[in-house]
Amino acid sequence: MRSFLNTLLGWLIGSRPRLLCDTAVWRVGVGELARRTLGGRRESGAYLLGVELPNGAKRIQEFVFYDDIDPLALATGEVTIRQVALPRLWEHCRSRGYGVVADVHVHPAGYGQSPSDRANPVMPRAGHIAMILPNFARGAPAPGNIGIYEYHGDGAWTDHSAAGSKFVKLEKTS
């Protein structure tokens, strides 16, 4: 019965966003991603930490930058995270009461997934959301102008980029 009601409600009001983020948290996090590209000389990225809401959506509360967890993550110019660094991430999550709700990284030009992105998800578990910001995150990219990809396992992805703010909603919460 609940599934039928959720389906009916979805038809009436449209689908709810899967990810929510305060506009200020997004703006500061994206600005820091741009800064960490060193003027467009390398990629940068972050784990997006937050909480699951009662309606199943997830709220992004914090950006944790790859190179803060693994100082060598950006050393090659592309994002490479060593497994030995992940215990720091898990400890940070535990200390804040957050989980990893998505990840984000930047590309030099567009926001399409590279073969490396498709083959090496940052969080290789079904349901994980990976976002890609174009132009080294310059120009304050936001949903509607970013890549949004959902991992299903075994190399399978769904591209939600066209859904934009219907999938990832920025909102003023404070």
pLDDT tens, residue by residue, 21-73:
999 999 999 999 999 999 999 999 999 999 999 999 999 999 999 999 999 99
CATH numbers and ranges of domains, the chain: 17-171 (3.40.140.10)
pTM of the complete model: 0.90
3-state secondary structure of 130: strand
C-alpha torsion sign, points 138, 39, 102, 157: positive
Q: In this predicted structure, what is the pLDDT of residue 126?
A: 96
Q: Which two tokens stand for residue 161?
A: 């980029």
